[in-house]
Amino acid sequence: MNEGVKTIQKYLKNLPGQPGVYRMLDDAGNVLYVGKAKSLKNRVASYTNLRGLNYRISRMVTATRSMEFVTTHTEVEALLLEANLIKRFKPPYNILLRDDKSFPYILIDTTHPWPQVKKHRGAKKRDGHYFGPFASVSAVNESLHILQKAFLLRTCSDNVFNNRSRPCLLYQIKRCSAPCVDRISKPEYDNLVRSAHDFLSGKSQSIKKDITRLMEDASAELNFEKAAIYRDRLRALAAVQQRQGVDAGNIEDADIITIFQAGGQSCIQVFFFRAGQNWGNRAYFPRHDKKQGSDEVLEAFLSQFYDNKPAPRFVLTNCRIKQKKLLEEALSINAGHTVKISFPQRGPKFQLLAFAEKNARDTLERKLAETSSHQKVLSLLAEIFDMDAPPDRIEVYDNSHISGTDALGGMIVVGPEGFDKGAYRLFNIKDDKTAPGDDFAMMREMLHRRFSRLLKEDPDRKTENWPDLLIIDGGKGQLSATLAILADLGLEDMNVVAIAKGPDRNAGREDFYLPKKPPFKLPANDPVLYFLQRARDEAHRFAIGSHRARRNKKMTSSQLDSVPGIGASRKKALLMHFGSAKAVENAALEDLRSVKGISQQLAQTIYDFFHETD
């Protein structure tokens, strides 16, 4: 600790008293902690007062060997930078939002004369109207299903739309108005697009009134078939209110965020309300120290959660935020509009918070129960495989290929809380000495690359990246190959087990191979056997799924992808003109110049690419 304090004191002499962000690093240069400060000098100086530090911070100071600083103009800028750096470096002493995937949206794409409604995820580069975020793809699919039934908008791609000669099945089941074959006029379709836009913007009641009036008019004219279509559209819209699960009241645009703590862990539930509708919810389990309270965890969560997405105008929470004004200002800058964080204690908004908090509590209780069961299985596994303690990190290896082609290996990781998908890794089998289809050589190459790199990055085995147990898909041969590689690298103390599929590849009759021990089986109803089967199957799924994706991509690629200056649009123009990549390859220079969008210089580049010249 004294060495850590001396390191911090060394930087204090030249630190300014202005806002900024600081990073604490260990002797290997790894980031231990990222913090922000209104005054860097005062904040960093607090780490030198040993009596005022709790145990967690004391450990951090003890490991600190260097620091880095970035000054900012304001404390708000420091807060925004801090959230960005935490997500980038994932420091072990920070509260960390572990699952931060982007959210899906619904897009009414207006780049085509007949707008398309579809799912969208990622950057908002296309022209159109975006609605979201939705908590999950299933929530988007549910809303798209209702939009199809209520507004009959097309969901097909532009390519499919432009090449239709008759209506598709969606028209037959009354989920599309078939604009592709002119079964609806352009003004009528534009009205449907406007209605869908209004509905997603929260004007569902006015839409219902309009459709009800049209249904009554059609019925009065004795056009019962048309009236039935309007009736079905009304039923689809009514289904929106039925599936809400919770009454949004007068809330139009808000996120309901609640936290519940138990057993040293936290569950944060986020409910998305947009246009007066519940667009789903998602649970998060941020990583933090057991002694950190709800307010501290929730404050860190909010800054990281909204770092890469705009906040709505209102954020309702079930606990007070200490730096509320600072966080509101930071979120407002990110979102481009005013954001208010509130802590309701009565009324409809409080009822919404109570509902969300109950969901957080129930979700955390289920997770704790699953974790407890998982820990018991790990303890039993340690006994069966003669390990000193239950493993914190298990790595499972498998490889995939077809007759040796497109070969790759996959590694999955199982931790105390289950599968750690963020730690999964793929290995391209690229050694020329590895014969096609040689599973032993593939396994040797994969393990050698994995552990030689790990030795280079962490020779003292201090980090959590070292596995406590290796599981290999295979029998005695795979085990021997693995042990030989580990011995070459000086890692003979590694726990290794190989799992061979049973007779006729029957699950439940697997043989387990350990070094210097005869193979054995586990009882069919043993929970450890079920756990190991799941781990092996997950490794197989990951390896073969990645292999299929790579093979499919290879099958759909062409030589045109390698021609300089040829992007998607020019590639399409060439294929539409010549019919195939082979025809492009054999085309004359004059023919290439005649293609729309291909200049004389580019035509020469394409010709030279396929024809060797002096």
**550 and 407 share a domain?**
yes
Instruction: Read off the CATH number of the domain in which 261 is found.
Output: 3.30.420.10
CB 38 within 8 A of CB 75: yes
Enter the pTM of the model.
0.69
**pLDDT of 352 higher than 60:** yes
**428 and 518 share a domain?**
yes
**174 and 77 share a domain?**
no
**317 and 267 share a domain?**
yes
Instruction: Read off the CATH number of the domain in which 46 is found.
Output: 3.40.1440.10
Ranked by mean pLDDT, the top range of 152-156, 325-329, 486-490 is: 325-329
Q: Residue with structure tokens 């006994």? A: 383
pLDDT recorded at residue 220: 87
Q: Is residue 537 part of a domain?
A: yes
Q: Which domain holds residue 434?
A: 394-554
CA–CA separation, 340 vs 325, rounded Å? 9
Residue 131 pairs in a beta bridge with 106
Q: List CB contacts of 459: < 8 A, sequence separation 6 or more.
A: none
Q: What are phi and psi of 167, to 5 degrees?
A: -65, 150
CA–CA separation, 576 vs 597, rounded Å? 12
pLDDT recorded at residue 202: 74
3-state secondary structure of 573: helix
Q: Is residue 99 part of a domain?
A: no
Last residue of a domain, one of 61, 89, 117: 89
pLDDT recorded at residue 413: 94
Instruction: Read off the CATH number of the domain in which 522 is found.
Output: 3.30.420.340
Q: Is residue 585 part of a domain?
A: yes
**pLDDT of 248 higher than 60:** no
**157 and 203 share a domain?**
yes
pLDDT digits (tens, 9 = 90+) for 109-153: 999 999 999 999 888 888 899 988 888 888 888 888 888 888 888
**180 and 209 share a domain?**
yes
Residue-averaged pLDDT of the chain: 85
The count of domains in the chain is 5
Q: Is residue 388 part of a domain?
A: no
Q: With the CA atoms of 272, 176, 219 and 212 taken in that order, what torsion angle do they form, in degrees rounded to the nearest 10?
A: 20
Q: Is residue 370 part of a domain?
A: no
Name which of 178, 147, 144 is nearest 160 in CA terms: 178
Q: What are phi and psi of 200, to 5 degrees?
A: -70, -15
pLDDT recorded at residue 241: 54
**536 and 567 share a domain?**
no
Buried b (16+ CB within 10 A) or exposed e, 61-77: bebbeebeebebeebbb
**567 and 498 share a domain?**
no
**404 and 522 share a domain?**
yes
CA–CA separation, 52 vs 46, rounded Å? 8
Name which of 426, 391, 384, 392 is nearest 409 in CA terms: 426
pLDDT digits (tens, 9 = 90+) for 262-317: 888 899 999 988 877 788 889 999 999 888 999 999 999 999 999 888 899 999 99
Last residue of a domain, one of 63, 89, 115: 89
Greater pLDDT, 232 or 339: 339
Which pLDDT band, with edges at 50, 70 and 90, does 613 fall under? Answer: very low
pLDDT recorded at residue 228: 83
Q: Is residue 465 part of a domain?
A: yes
Last residue of a domain, one of 208, 242, 276: 242
**pLDDT of 556 higher than 70:** no
Q: What is the mean pLDDT of residues 410-436?
A: 83
Task: For Cα atoms 194, 195, 200, give the angle at the middle one, nearest 5 degrees.
Answer: 100
CB 331 within 8 A of CB 302: yes
**219 and 126 share a domain?**
yes
Which pLDDT band, with edges at 50, 70 and 90, does 587 fall under? Answer: confident
Q: Is residue 491 part of a domain?
A: yes
Q: What is the mean pLDDT of residues 9-13?
A: 89
Q: Is residue 327 part of a domain?
A: yes
**548 and 564 share a domain?**
no
pLDDT digits (tens, 9 = 90+) for 460-493: 887 788 999 999 988 888 899 899 999 998 898 8
**131 and 273 share a domain?**
no
